[in-house]
Amino acid sequence: MRKRGFFNSRLRPEEDNADAINLTPLIDMVFILLIFFLVTASFIRESSVTVRRPQAATALPQSGAELIVTITADEQIWLNDAVVDIRRLRARIEELKLTSSKRSAIILADQQTSTGLLVKTMDQLRLAGFADISVAASSAGEAL
């Protein structure tokens, strides 16, 4: 009869298979969790242009806007990280082919922006079918 020692038991392949840990289900579970978190994560869209928003004591947080239009201090209109002329704004919005029925937009206007350009931008958004248009402002306690 053969002695079973530490070295003798390690040489038998049939016993090694019984002690092995199968990592395949663990890897599958990690990938499923990764896909789940990527799909359910809410992505926050922000403008790539920095503006100094005017302050308002009654400013409320707004979320879920379908479109963000930014107006800089030198009165450039930005839509999806590109400068757009006010005369082409409506056409550019219609080219985006937004599918949401909510049709809400936020205008991030610099505090130095003229009121005339802000009104023209709001008018172009309304002509493009947006009913819910908000103008972004900083709350009184928020830093600029």
User: Within a 10 A sphere around the Cβ of 86, how many other Cβ atoms?
Assistant: 15
Q: How far apart are CA 70 and CA 78, in angstroms?
A: 5
Place of tokens 């402002």: 137
For residues 17 and 101, the model is more confident at 101
Backbone angles phi and psi of 103, in degrees to 5: 50, 60
Give the residue-averaged pLDDT of 113-127: 91
Q: What is the pLDDT of residues 10-40, one digit of tens each?
A: 555 555 555 678 888 899 999 999 998 888 7
The reported pLDDT for the residue numbered 121 is 92
The topology (CATH level 3) of 55-139 is: Nucleotidyltransferase; domain 5 (3.30.420)
pTM listed for this prediction: 0.60
For the chain, the average pLDDT equals: 78
